[in-house]
Amino acid sequence: MEGMDGMDTRHETEVVVIGAGQAGLSSAYHLRRSGFASWSGYVVLDAADAPGGAWTHRPPTLTMDKVHGIFDLPGARFGPDGIDGSLPAAQVVPEYFAEYERRLELPVHRPVKVLSVRPAPSDRLLVSTTVGRWAARAVVNATGTWTRPYWPYYPGAEAFRGRQLHSAGYRGPAEFVGRHVVVVGGGTSAIQVLSEAADVAASTLWVTRRPPEFHDHEFTPDVGRAAVARVEERVRAGLPPQSVVGATGLGYTPVVLDALAKGALHRLPMFDRLTADGVVWNDGRSERADVIVWATGFRAALEHLAPLGLRERGGGIRMDGTRVVAEPRLHLVGYGPSASTVGANRAGRSAVREIRRLLDGSRASSAA
Ligand SMILES: Cc1cc2nc3c(=O)[nH]c(=O)nc-3n(C[C@H](O)[C@H](O)[C@H](O)COP(=O)(O)OP(=O)(O)OC[C@H]3O[C@@H](n4cnc5c(N)ncnc54)[C@H](O)[C@@H]3O)c2cc1C
């Protein structure tokens, strides 16, 4: 154990990557490729017990034929021998991640939860975790959103006698048999729950704040780029990022077509309050509900960065690409415009390129 700057610091490394989902593993790949040595040069700290990132938590009913396309981790094709569409994504993708970590001998340390990141004296950032501290010259944050489900409050929530759950806790439609189910939210998770609930529930009802925007154009690279550019503009301005579906609209994927065919996509505006046994609108409409599923999305898991004081007045973190403007030693990968599997891959590469330049530059200036 070494002391550094008089602080009780257990480990030193050049770069700490926080999180081992798609974004963290992509960053690790590029760190390794650009010559950082395992452990002394970079380390990946992951709070989970096993590989797979958010994919380990997907409901068993999310089979491979329903996912929108998993993008390969850099340097390793996913399912080169074909993918069995009937297998759960929660099994197949974590196996792929585990094999990737093993084959590349990535220095992933788990379960290690990062509790805080704060500036240390000298040029280091101090990463405190459940198992010790790391002093690093740069940090790649790749903690995703899974650990922070967003659950809005509506009056009467405490009076409701039925069951409420967030889509993060959805494990399949079995518990909806014969029940009246209300699904809240305008994204793909809401539609997946609706299409599955429609097979077994007594009734389903879809409510969203804004009318959902369906489009029938193909999801081409241009459409993707335009959506990413809109989210990028927001984070450059220090605003909270918008969800990717918010930026792209909803395509007619097999899951959407299935839900439409079952008549499960008649949408109502958001209700105004909950009662003991249902939901009510201010215009006098009311509907019975036994179950309310809040498919209301997630927020970025960044609580551990609070000591760095990065939030702008607009509520977001001002970014330039993956770099945090107020703390150039910190990159957010899988955040905002790179919060998709393909985006996370690209962002990992560009974050590492910048970190390499930053560290080489500071070495050159201290040698001069
Ligand atoms: C239901 C659902 C279906 C989806 N389907 C698709 C799809 O079909 N195609 C697609 O492209 N995208 C899909 N997405 C989005 C996709 O999951 C994400 O874009 C991507 O997987 C996120 O990767 P990530 O590495 O940023 O985060 P994650 O996979 O969430 O990984 C983050 C890792 O960080 C760890 N972590 C978090 N906090 C800490 C901490 N404080 N200390 C240490 N470790 C920490 C977590 O344990 C986790 O291992 C879907 C999302 C959902 C919710």
| pLDDT, tens digit (0-9, with 9 covering 90-100), for 106-156 | 999 999 999 999 999 888 999 999 999 999 999 999 999 999 999 999 999
pLDDT at residue 336, rounded to an integer: 86
Among 62-66, 249-253, 332-336, 356-360, name the one with the lowest average pLDDT: 249-253
Asked whether 291 lines ligand 1 (CB < 6 A), one says no
Q: Mean of the pLDDT values across residues 164-168?
A: 96
Q: Which residues of 342-358 are buried (b: 16+ CB within 10 A; e: fewer)?
A: bbbbbbbbbbbebbbeb
Asked if 170 contacts 197 with a C-beta cutoff of 8 angstroms, the reply is: no
Q: Mean of the pLDDT values across residues 352-361?
A: 95
pLDDT at residue 4, rounded to an integer: 40
| pLDDT, tens digit (0-9, with 9 covering 90-100), for 187-205 | 989 999 999 999 999 999 9
Instruction: Give pTM, 2 decimals.
Output: 0.90
pLDDT at residue 48, rounded to an integer: 98
pLDDT at residue 261, rounded to an integer: 95
| pLDDT, tens digit (0-9, with 9 covering 90-100), for 195-232 | 999 999 999 999 999 999 888 766 667 777 777 788 88
| pLDDT, tens digit (0-9, with 9 covering 90-100), for 240-254 | 887 666 667 788 888
Among 5-9, 100-104, 252-256, name the one with the lowest average pLDDT: 5-9
Query: For residue 285, is pLDDT > 90?
Result: yes
Q: Mean of the pLDDT values across residues 337-346?
A: 81
pLDDT at residue 368, rounded to an integer: 63
Asked whether 340 lines ligand 1 (CB < 6 A), one says yes
Query: For residue 65, is pLDDT > 50?
Result: yes
Query: For residue 9, is pLDDT > 60?
Result: no
- Best of 183, 340, 342 for a ligand 1 pocket test (most atoms within 8 Å of beta carbon): 340
Q: Mean of the pLDDT values across residues 338-359?
A: 90
Mean pLDDT score of the chain: 90
Asked whether 27 lines ligand 1 (CB < 6 A), one says no
In sequence order, which residues have a C-beta less than 8 Å from that of residue 333 and are 6 or more positions away? 23, 24, 26, 27, 140, 141, 142, 322, 344, 347, 348, 351
Q: Mean of the pLDDT values across residues 273-297?
A: 97
Neighbours of 291 (CB within 10 A): 18
Measured CA to CA, the distance from residue 156 to residue 115 in angstroms comes to 34
Query: For residue 69, is pLDDT > 70?
Result: no
Tell me the longest C-alpha to C-alpha distance in the chain. 75
Q: How far is the CA of 341 from the centre of ligand 1 (A)?
A: 8
Q: Mean of the pLDDT values across residues 330-349?
A: 88
Start-to-end CA span in the chain (Å)? 30
| pLDDT, tens digit (0-9, with 9 covering 90-100), for 26-37 | 999 999 999 999
239, containing H or E segment = none
Asked if 337 contacts 232 with a C-beta cutoff of 8 angstroms, the reply is: yes
Q: Quick one: what percent of the chain has pLDDT higher than 90?
A: 73
Query: For residue 7, is pLDDT > 60?
Result: no
Q: What are the helix (H) ranges across 182-308? A: 188-197, 221-236, 244-248, 254-261
Asked whether 117 lines ligand 1 (CB < 6 A), one says no
pLDDT at residue 2, rounded to an integer: 40
Residue ID of nearest Cα to ligand 1 atom 22 = 144
Asked whether 304 lines ligand 1 (CB < 6 A), one says yes
Sorting pLDDT into bands at 50, 70 and 90, what band is 1? very low
pLDDT at residue 218, rounded to an integer: 67
pLDDT at residue 5, rounded to an integer: 40
Query: For residue 12, is pLDDT > 80?
Result: yes
Q: Quick one: what percent of the chain has pLDDT higher than 70?
A: 93
Asked whether 343 lines ligand 1 (CB < 6 A), one says no
